[in-house]
Structure 1
């Protein structure tokens, strides 16, 4: 052990290939860190809308938009963290720094909840004249939100990569991923129930304080296991080769494309002899010229690098379709919280469902169907059709379920508005069915997204490919914020008091958009051809490759 301690710095910078580090001894540290950070991040983000409305006197629609921006950052930051980890610092330092940043942010949120001068005065009961937060109060709030989002986003996917890197065998890596997702959902459910319930029924200070304690423990647990971790050496940005292809093709744009294999640059282990005919402009990047470009990495790329770039271009139309279906999903999440605030949340005489905890219905539904899909739905489908359910088919099923949930949400909201006219509150239980369907859709769509990106992206970009689903969700949150603002400006459907609005019309608008997007998705899927054999027989490129 002394040797490990003395050589820790060297191992961190150059990687430890001795086999003395890593393995299952690191598992408790990784999983405990993930659990604590998940409880922290989901504990504050699930109830953020309610916190902004009740503690900062922010109007409901504005609170939903701020929440969407924060959630968007939570989904975009992991991609940035992954690039920094792969290119410069490695996973372990990024996780350590991000966990500390998250701790700083949650401590600041706890301080905001504890000190009265950091929040505006509470609104008097029944009053419509409420004090708005000052610039100082908003500045401190936004600083806290920036820290907790950057910290949580920086650890979520890098922890998955760092944990899998501790194992040499694919079987062990697969086992870790199973535990990773189970722990992530466990933390999310705990944050969405116990933490949110504490915030609503005890105090915001105690709720944020528990999150801070969980973050602090997870930070120390992760740091204490640092000497046991296997540190991988950063290999440089995987995006560099993609940029090189674009630069080289542009520089040699006047060169004549050849049909001879020997005129193109090949690497020793390349699987492609000739560049494909799709996106022929890019073939110039691998074309050998007589101007000394052989020794210039920015003027000559391999055929495989060109084909990798093309593979990403082919996925862009499908990626757009996934973004457009994810936008209504995240928009529905925000609107559901606002609906819950004006329903009867009581279950029995002693329990009241916190509005911020409604999303746990989605988590439980998604978790349940992830298990059912693996052990029942997918095997049954393959038994009946003698073919596995493809990634695009899974995404398509998820899109149909998403559209169905929007239609049910519209019907439920119309019923709620009628109950308001009759001067009684509708039970919050009416909001459960569309949330259950959303969860089922996620159980199909999100794994399908990851499977599609991971299988179709170049091997050098597969780590980044797994984080693209997170990026899709992040972009969707921003689009959702913009769409809410547009609807507010052009209609009267989303006033601050949704009892005077028409949220049901918003849902029907999303249904129409979802149907149009699904048609676009079907068209893209029809022309798309997978690079690899889905049966697992081989990994060769489909000669009948058709680009979208």
Structure 2
């Protein structure tokens, strides 16, 4: 999630294994497209990370927004950026194609960045600065809020529309899996390098030079990324819209309701398989058999030429089974929401903690509060490398097989809980030092919790993508990583609601966390939530049976998808 909220992504590996289009124009695609796509990713990542990495500090310093409210706004913006990829994928699949979604989203992001630059260059678009020595600051006007929120909405939509779609269009340029794997190695490298630059260099410019220069760099990155992407348009293989798989699943539900009075049959000949010449395959599975009615043939459903007379009254058995597969995995998917919610809370609260610590390294250099996420990024990168070259080979040597995706996710749960517990302990010590000794704690004490949460992400995010990619219906393979983003989006929304609820019913989150604040109690609450969610996850994973691959194959696929 650290890379996600910084403008990168740690969970796209599933898309790299998606099969290429069945008919690829050999005059287009291939490695000639990689420089254009990778340069576009670099520019757009700079654009995204440039505004998101330091958003909380921007809201506090430039718009005089109270710290907790700033954290909630950040969570909502992050939720939008991580929720929109699902909508972008539907638009790309059903109507516009990846190419159009990318350039339109990039243009939307560019307009949002221009608005952000205007807020820091035109005095009337932001409240006046606080008077020196005064605790009373001017609040933003309605017009100022409107411009701010319009800018954040545009950049969030733009980020969501480009992040996963760039991964998909890049993978679609290659016919061979090994070329896709090489491309994704370069893709991840580009994302991490630029996320690091955003969390350090651009944040430093914003904190020490000016916000206008910082956002100016983001605008330049956005403009260059969009321009390079468009320049390479004549080389790209462009996939044509194929229709949304969610529409076919909606048809199953509608057809099932329309045939609710029909008696479920156990004979395969009574069901529709989409085969004109005859019936192929076995009868639908007995689980969720109420849905089998959607594929049950009744009088008038099929025309003499073998086609369906009413598409919303009859579906194929495969469409029914696809929906069943999605229903089976939804409980496991839901556990990931409460797995990501504590991380979203920690992301925003860590910035507030950092602002209340001693951030100096030596006499002259001060670590920007918005740069704290870089420790999670470094932890994720190092952990993934160690897992692939040390931990997984040792695991396979001891256990005789690679860890399954469910095992990886479970370990991630434990690291996540431990990270929140460490956060609570460190915050208790920080608050004591600030209130009793009147000496702020060093910001480096916040690093262990960020390292631990990064290690947890290195377990559970790749594990989630591997699980969804393997177990989702074939029509939803390309949506696997977008569903992880949807989890993160929902988690950020939920974290904002949790922080708001805690603020209303307790006194733990004042505007000044050193003035009677108990952020440590908030962390202990999310520890309890994490423990209960882990119990729920254990039950769901125990009951779940792999459908598309065997357990050993699942572990092997995971290793391949991350190599």
Shorter-normalised TM range: over 0.9
What is the aligned partner in structure 2 of residue 478 from structure 1? 493
Distance 1:271 1:304, change over 3 A: farther
Deviations 1:89-131, CA, capped at 9 Å, x for gaps: 1001111111111111112211211112211111123321100
Whole-angstrom CA distance in 2 between matches of 1:270 and 1:492: 66
Matches within 5 A, 1:285-364: 285-292=294-301, 294-364=308-378
2:510 matches 1:503: no
**1:466–1:302 Cα change, 3 Å:** same
Provide the TM-score with structure 2 as the length reference. Answer: 0.91
CA contact (8 A) 1:91 1:162 kept: yes
In structure 2, the partner of 1:516 is 532
Distance in 2 separating the partners of 1:477 and 1:270: 47
Question: What's 1:456 paired with?
Answer: 471
Identify the match of residue 159 of structure 1 among 166, 175, 194: 166
1:19 matched to which residue of 2? 26
CA distance in 1, matches of 2:427, 2:413: 21
Query: For the residues of structure 2 that align with 1:291 and 1:235, how far apart are their CA atoms?
Result: 27
Instruction: Name the structure 1 match of 2:11.
Output: none
Q: Pick from 515, 519, 528: which aligns with 2:544?
A: 528
Please state whether the residue corresponding to 1:423 is helix, strand or coil.
Answer: coil
Distance 1:180 1:292, change over 3 A: same
CA contact (8 A) 1:16 1:230 kept: no
Which of 262, 266, 269 is 1:259 aligned to? 266
Residue of structure 1 aligned with 2:422, choices 389, 392, 408: 408
Runs of 4+ that moved beyond 6 A: none
Match 1:426 to one of 435, 441, 450 = 441
Tell me which residue corresponds to 2:135: 128
Counterparts of 2:380 and 2:487, CA distance in 1: 18
| Structure 2 CA distance for aligned equivalents of residues 354 and 271 of structure 1 | 63
Which residue is equivalent to 1:396?
Answer: 410
| Pair 1:275 & 2:284 matched | yes
Q: Which stretch shows the higher mean deviation, 114-123 or 520-529?
A: 114-123
Q: Could you list the runs of 5+ residues in structure 1 that have no partner in the other structure? A: 1-13, 539-548
CA contact (8 A) 2:301 2:314 kept: no
Q: Is the 8 A contact 1:74 1:149 kept in 2?
A: yes
Partner Cα separation in structure 2 for residue 358 and residue 471 of structure 1: 24
Paired with 1:389 and 1:288, the residues of 2 have a C-alpha distance of: 43
Q: Which gives a bigger RCO, structure 1 or 2 (Cα 8 Å, sep 6+)? A: 2
Q: 2-side partners of 1:195 and 1:426: how far apart?
A: 25
After TM superposition, the structure 1 stretch with the greater mean CA deviation from structure 2, 380-389 or 51-60, is 380-389
Is contact 1:102-1:152 (8 Å) kept?
yes
Deviation string, structure 1 residues 213-246 (Cα, Å, up to 9, x no partner): 1111111101111111111111111111101111
Q: 2: CA distance between counterparts of 1:271 and 1:203? A: 67
Alignment partner of 2:431 out of 417, 431, 437: 417
Decide which moves more: 516-525 or 116-125.
116-125
Shift in Å, 1:55: 0.4
Partner SS for 1:338: helix
Question: Aligned to 1:68, what secondary structure does the other structure show?
Answer: helix
Partner in structure 2 of residue 186 of structure 1: 193
Q: Structure 1 length normalisation: TM-score?
A: 0.93
Answer yes or no: is the 8 Å Cα contact 1:270–1:304 preserved in 2. Answer: no
C-alpha contact 1:15 1:231 (8 A) present in aligned 2: no
Unaligned 5+ runs, structure 2: 1-20, 303-307, 555-563
Displacement of 1:19 after TM fit?
Answer: 0.7
Instruction: Select between 113-122 and 174-183 the one with higher mean Cα deviation.
Output: 174-183
Task: Give the distance between the partners of 1:374 and 1:271, measured in 2 at CA.
Answer: 42
Q: Is the 8 A contact 1:15 1:230 kept in 2?
A: no
1:361-402 deviation per Cα after TM superposition (whole angstroms, max 9, x unaligned): 111111111111122211211111012111111111111000
RMSD across aligned C-alpha pairs, in angstroms? 1.8
Question: Which residue pairs with 2:400 in the alignment?
Answer: 386
After superposition, the C-alpha distances for 1:278-313 in whole angstroms (9 at most, x for unaligned) are 111001111111243553221111111111100100
Change (3 A) 1:537 1:316: closer
Distance 2:23 2:233 in 1: 13
Asked if residue 143 in structure 1 is aligned to residue 150 in structure 2, the reply is yes
Question: How far off is 1:152 after superposition?
Answer: 1.2
Tell me if structure 1 keeps the 8 A contact 2:357–2:443.
yes
